[in-house]
């Protein structure tokens, strides 16, 4: 009896906890609220506490010359307390905000031109860039015509090139000033934003890589009131829809009790609060036969950008399932046809959302969203919409501002080196894009060239009878199996190995997807790379990688264990490399530095792998993406080359090169390949030369934080090599333990690899030979020293690299490398640098 009573109590406790659990489900790991120029913590009604930016634990501000202004007299009492002070900058200044999590974050900027006697903030003109994404360009309140507070909301990825931090750069335009009142950085839960979405007009799904940034253009609560950050777990604002209705008389608002809203099938309150789903607009003449029209909403937007359009639905009007069926149009194009919410949710009052991507072309500056009944129907006409979000997506220039053209680079009188570099990076990036698109265009224009020999992809078709009669096989796995391509693993096997893709097993994350550590049933530890199923481009790379890896077995190449393409999955299973990428052993982590001997061994291992690729297999293979993150180490520091997603078959005997669109990673790209789009094995040799330099200097190939002449390792190192003074700038950890002869041999080898013209570069075989020679020199000198020491003999000391003179203009080294470079525990590296290709 007592038992049943306590069970009952337990039951009551559990049931009454349910709403609490729903709300406690997501706690953002980053919730940084910064009051710029504030002097004490400001607590808002919604629970947010804005801390002053100066002395903030996670906020750095440089340079230090800035001014705080405060509102004179009493500010408008309607204004947020945040808007009573601002920080003003006379020169380009940087906020560095340290986050706890990588991944996407909300970035909210509060801007209010505080009235004050010192500066006229309304006429201030400035630009803002966050983690390389241009957010504002020549922004000014006076241009805007709006004079009160402005809240700009963005989605920015933290990770990639700036792990665990958000770098916000404010740049005043010529002679003007910049200012800011408040900054919010809040983690976005995984899965909140889609990795792909259907386009309108309908076509194949559009991939949305995580480096794409967003700006909230509109977030609307149909048929309901303003929803403030109070009622949103992520402190978002939802505005009412009346002002966007094209014909207010066409719509009628419906409201139900918010607590009646159900969250099922992976939709959570983070997607939208129940306050959004509990109100809607329906057709004003609903249920009157033959009244057929659309409810339309129009939103002014900046053209020439893609927009993510998220429609929120919840059937709060029907009495039974499957009676509400309607069409949805975006920009006069059909998005959803005869859409029945309950067929998706199987319940009434259940939250549901759908994403679309629409391009807004020049000349059209609005997004038109319409819902209306289909012509053919079994039920009285009605249509509803509960909520709508329109998010501008960053363009390939990493910009969210349209007027950003050449003047972005030109008109900014450079004020600091950082800014020059940024501009250079932008312009170079843009030039690369233009070149790539031109190359791609030319490539498309001339498809007549015989390309069968250069084709990357061996068509996976089963040949029946003579070679002309090909029978395509539906599933890649079945075809691949018949070609002997590694082991086909069941999706269930992989789920088991990775504990259903447990987040705690993630080794690395990137554009392609995630890499998990797993244990197969047989006990073998593996690395599981899971691609994003919707990515079409990913699929080509997926197939290339499997085909390439299946052909290759070598001690210095990462082996393929199997793969899975069930349910459109793209999963590749490799041997697990406990040591992770070489880069991690060089900089950006707290692993112990490798000795010179170990570094030579690693380079030799990688060189053997590449040499085998170039010469060992039946056809020569060009890796195309040689870099320190694609060289993995096992637990014994044996190096293996990984990531064959971009590999190509090399030129055949009667060809000298393969023509191809430029792919690869910035900083490692062979300049000749880049100029002429002609790929040879020597392009890998060039990239390997960059790797050698990285090994020697323990710094990234490209470090934009350094002074201009040091940004590119190849250029910078060649300078020192040509002056014969390499030893002055090598990784300080090597000082005192490197034999000078060995170092010179290594430097010479790297120099030859980096030769301007492919024909002047050595083959991987030559490189290998030279590295082995460098290792011999080092080992001989060590033996000599120890022999001499044991003989208690004052040696004729070999030329050790002893003292390092700090090289001119070089003060920035290790600290800034870490600042600007990718650190990741990723094993598969293309993941580290999805933008690099
Ligand atoms: C709903 O409609 C009524 C009547 O048309 C209107 O008075 C009210 O303001 C509307 N409420 C909302 C939240 O739009
Ligand atoms: C928001 O939440 C408060 C309670 O926290 C509630 O009283 C209010 O009605 C809610 N709804 C809206 C739309 O603000
Ligand atoms: C949709 O069609 C209407 C009339 O047919 C036209 O006026 C409007 O410009 C179109 N809107 C869009 C976004 O294409
Ligand atoms: C609703 O809008 C779409 C797209 O603009 C149009 O094709 C359709 O005819 C409209 N439906 C009605 C009933 O007016």
Residue 499 is classified by DSSP as T
Q: Which domains does the chain have, with CATH numbers?
A: 2-21+193-393 (2.60.120.430), 29-187 (2.60.120.430), 489-576 (3.30.200.20), 578-796+806-832 (1.10.510.10)
Q: How many CA atoms lie within 13 A of 750 on its CB side?
A: 30
Query: In this structure, which ligand is nearest to the CA of 258?
Result: 2
User: Mean per-residue pLDDT for 314-319?
Assistant: 94
The tens digit of pLDDT for each residue in 665-713 reads 667 777 777 676 677 888 899 999 999 988 988 888 877 777 777 878 8
Those residues whose C-beta lies under 8 Å from the C-beta of residue 786, and which sit 6 or more positions away, are none
CA distance 76 to 81: 10
Q: How confident is the model at residue 208 (pLDDT cuts 50, 70, 90)?
A: very high
Instruction: Please give the structure tokens belonging to residue 316.
Output: 């709060």
C-alpha 334 to ligand 4 mean position (Å): 9
pLDDT digits (tens, 9 = 90+) for 257-269: 999 999 988 899 9
Nearest atom, ligand 3, residue 331 CA: 13
Determine if ligand 2 sits within 6 Å of the CB of residue 163: no
Residue 707 beta carbon below 6 angstroms from any ligand 1 atom: no
Going by pLDDT thresholds of 50, 70 and 90, the confidence category of residue 793 is very low
Q: Are strands 85-89 and 150-158 parallel, antiparallel or unpaired?
A: unpaired
- Where is average pLDDT lowest: 66-75, 161-170, 280-289? 66-75
Q: Is the CB of 248 under 6 A from ligand 1?
A: no
Q: What share of the chain is helix, strand, coil (3-state, %, to 5)?
A: 30, 25, 45
Mean pLDDT of 793-819: 37
Which ligand ends up closest to the CA of 363? 3
Better-scored residue on pLDDT, 733 or 278: 278
Q: Is the CB of 224 under 6 A from ligand 1?
A: yes
Evaluate whether 664 touches 630 at the Cβ level (below 8 Å): no
Q: What's the average model confidence in pLDDT over 194-211? A: 90
Q: Looking at the CA of residue 375, tell me the nearest atom of ligand 4.
A: 13
Q: Which residues of 33-54 are buried (b: 16+ CB within 10 A; e: fewer)?
A: bbbbbbeeebeeeeebebbbbb
Q: Is the CB of 607 under 6 A from ligand 2?
A: no
Q: What are phi and psi of 420, to 5 degrees?
A: -60, -45
Facing residues of 692 across strands? none
**pLDDT tens column, 405-447:** 445 544 433 333 333 333 334 444 444 444 444 444 444 443 3
pLDDT-based confidence at residue 76 (cuts at 50, 70, 90) = low
257 lines ligand 3 (CB under 6 A): no
Residue 646: closest CA among 822, 830, 510, 437? 830
Inform me whether the pLDDT recorded for 188 exceeds 90. Answer: yes
Ligand 1 centroid–CA 223 distance in Å is 7
pLDDT number for residue 650: 54
pLDDT of 463 over the 70 cut:
no
Query: How many distinct helices (H) and strands (E) make up the chain?
Result: 17, 43
* Cα 134-139-143 angle, rounded to 5 deg: 150
Confidence of residue 831 (pLDDT cuts 50, 70, 90): very low
Kindly report, residue by residue over 318-366, the tens digit of the pLDDT: 988 888 999 999 999 999 999 999 888 989 999 999 999 999 988 888 9
Q: Among 381-395, 413-427, 741-755, where is mean pLDDT lowest?
A: 413-427
Full DSSP string of 383-423? -EE-EEEEEEE--TTSBS-TT-SHHHHHSS---SHHHHHHH
pLDDT value of residue 278: 97
| 150: pLDDT strictly greater than 70 | yes
Catalytic residue among 398, 625, 731, 813: 625
Instruction: Select the highest-mean-pLDDT range: 453-457, 460-464, 562-566.
Output: 562-566
- 806, pLDDT greater than 70: no
Active site residue 625: yes
Q: Tens digit of pLDDT for each residue in 579-598?
A: 888 988 988 888 888 999 99
The closest of 592, 806, 822 to 700, measured between CA atoms, is 822
User: What pLDDT, on a 0 to 100 scale, did the predictor assign at position 810?
Assistant: 35
Could you tell me what percent of the chain has a pLDDT over 70?
A: 73
User: Is there a contact between 384 and 371 (Cβ–Cβ < 8 Å)?
Assistant: yes
Chain-wide mean pLDDT for the chain?
Answer: 76
Which secondary structure element, helix H or strand E, spans residue 602, and what is its range? helix 596-615
Q: In this predicted model, what pLDDT tens digit does every residue of 497-537 receive, in sequence order? A: 888 888 888 887 755 678 888 888 777 788 888 877 655 55
Q: How confident is the model at residue 663 (pLDDT cuts 50, 70, 90)?
A: low
Mutate to test the pocket of ligand 1, among 227, 250, 253, 256 (most ligand atoms within 8 A of CB): 253
What's the sign of the alpha-carbon dihedral 393, 399, 401, 406? negative
pLDDT over 60 (residue 795): no
pLDDT for the residue 602: 94
Determine the Cα–Cα distance for residues 832 and 826; give it in Å rounded to an integer.
7
The model's confidence at residue 162, banded by pLDDT at 50, 70 and 90, is low
């Amino acid at each position: 009896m007592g038992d049943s009573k306590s069970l009952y109590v337990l039951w009551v406790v559990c049931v009454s906890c349910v709403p609490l659990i729903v709300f406690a489900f997501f706690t953002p790991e980053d919730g940084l609220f910064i009051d710029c120029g504030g002097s004490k913590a400001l607590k808002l009604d919604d629970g947010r506490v804005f801390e002053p930016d100066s002395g903030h634990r996670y906020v750095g501000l440089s340079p230090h010359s800035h001014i705080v202004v405060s509102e004179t007299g009493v500010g408008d009492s309607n204004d947020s307390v945040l808007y009573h002070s601002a920080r003003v900058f006379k020169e380009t200044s940087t906020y560095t905000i340290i986050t706890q999590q990588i991944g996407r974050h909300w970035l909210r900027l509060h801007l209010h031109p505080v009235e004050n006697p010192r500066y006229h903030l309304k006429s201030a003109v400035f630009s803002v860039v966050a983690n390389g994404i241009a957010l504002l360009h020549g922004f000014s309140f006076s241009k805007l015509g709006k004079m009160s507070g402005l809240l700009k909301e963005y989605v920015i990825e933290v990770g990639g090139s700036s792990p665990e931090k958000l770098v916000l750069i404010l740049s005043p335009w010529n002679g003007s000033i910049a200012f800011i009142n408040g900054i919010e950085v809040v983690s976005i839960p995984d899965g909140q934003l889609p990795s792909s979405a259907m386009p309108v007009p309908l076509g194949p799904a559009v991939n949305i890589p995580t480096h794409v940034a967003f700006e909230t253009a509109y977030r609307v609560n149909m048929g309901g009131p303003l929803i403030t950050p109070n009622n949103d777990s992520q402190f978002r604002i939802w505005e009412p829809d009346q002002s966007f209705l094209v014909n207010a008389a066409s719509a009628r608002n419906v409201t139900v009790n918010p607590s009646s809203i159900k969250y099922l099938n992976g939709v959570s309150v983070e997607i939208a609060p129940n306050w959004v789903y509990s109100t809607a607009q329906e057709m004003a003449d609903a249920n009157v036969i033959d009244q057929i029209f659309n409810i339309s909403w129009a939103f002014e937007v900046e053209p020439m950008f893609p927009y993510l359009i998220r429609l929120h639905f919840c059937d709060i009007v029907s009495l039974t399932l499957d009676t509400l069926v309607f069409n949805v149009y975006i920009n006069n194009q059909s998005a959803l046809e005869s859409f029945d919410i309950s067929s998706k949710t199987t319940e009434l009052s259940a939250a549901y959302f759908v994403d679309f991507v629409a391009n807004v072309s020049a000349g059209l500056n609005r997004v038109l969203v319409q819902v209306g009944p289909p012509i053919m129907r079994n039920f009285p006409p009605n249509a509803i919409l509960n909520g709508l979000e329109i998010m501008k997506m960053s363009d390939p220039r990493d910009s969210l501002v349209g007027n950003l053209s050449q003047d972005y680079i030109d008109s900014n009188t450079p004020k600091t080196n950082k800014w020059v570099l940024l501009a250079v990076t932008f312009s170079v990036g843009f030039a690369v894009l233009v070149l790539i698109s031109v190359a791609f265009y030319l490539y498309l224009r001339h498809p007549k060239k015989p390309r069968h020999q250069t084709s990357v992809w061996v068509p996976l078709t089963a040949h029946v009878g003579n070679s002309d009669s090909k029978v395509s096989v539906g599933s890649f796995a079945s075809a691949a199996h018949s070609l002997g391509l590694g082991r086909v693993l069941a999706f269930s096997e992989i789920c088991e190995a990775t504990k259903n893709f447990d987040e705690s097993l993630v080794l690395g994350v990137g554009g392609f997807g995630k890499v998990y550590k797993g244990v197969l049933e047989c006990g073998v530890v593996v690395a599981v790379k899971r691609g994003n199923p919707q990515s079409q481009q990913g699929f080509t790379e997926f197939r290339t990688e499997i085909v390439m890896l299946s052909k290759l077995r070598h001690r210095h190449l990462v082996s393929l264990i199997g793969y899975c393409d069930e349910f459109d999955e793209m999963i590749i299973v490799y041997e697990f490399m406990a040591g992770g990428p070489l880069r991690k052993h060089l900089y950006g982590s707290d692993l112990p530095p490798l000795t010179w001997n170990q570094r030579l061994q690693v380079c030799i291992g990688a060189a053997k792998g590449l040499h085998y690729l170039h010469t060992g297999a039946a056809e020569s293979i060009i890796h195309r993406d040689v870099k320190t993150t694609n060289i993995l180490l096992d637990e014994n520091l044996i190096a293996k080359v990984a990531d064959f997603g971009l590999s190509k078959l090399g030129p055949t005997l009667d060809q000298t090169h393969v023509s191809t669109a430029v792919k690869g990673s910035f900083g490692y790209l062979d300049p000749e390949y880049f100029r002429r789009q002609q790929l040879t094995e020597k392009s890998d040799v060039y990239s390997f030369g960059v790797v050698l330099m990285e090994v020697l200097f323990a710094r990234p190939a490209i470090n934009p934080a350094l002074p201009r002449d040091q940004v590119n390792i190849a250029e910078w190192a060649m300078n020192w090599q040509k002056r014969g003074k390499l030893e002055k700038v090598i990784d300080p950890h090597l000082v005192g333990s490197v034999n000078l002869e060995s170092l010179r041999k290594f430097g010479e080898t790297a120099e030859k690899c980096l030769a301007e013209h492919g024909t002047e570069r050595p083959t991987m075989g030559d490189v290998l030979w030279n590295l082995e020679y460098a290792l011999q020199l080092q080992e001989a000198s060590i033996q000599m020293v120890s022999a001499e020491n044991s003989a208690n003999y004052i040696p004729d000391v070999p030329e050790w690299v002893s003292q390092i003179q700090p090289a001119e203009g070089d003060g920035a080294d290790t600290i800034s490398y870490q600042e600007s470079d990718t650190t990741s525990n990723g094993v598969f590296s293309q993941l580290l640098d999805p933008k690099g290709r």
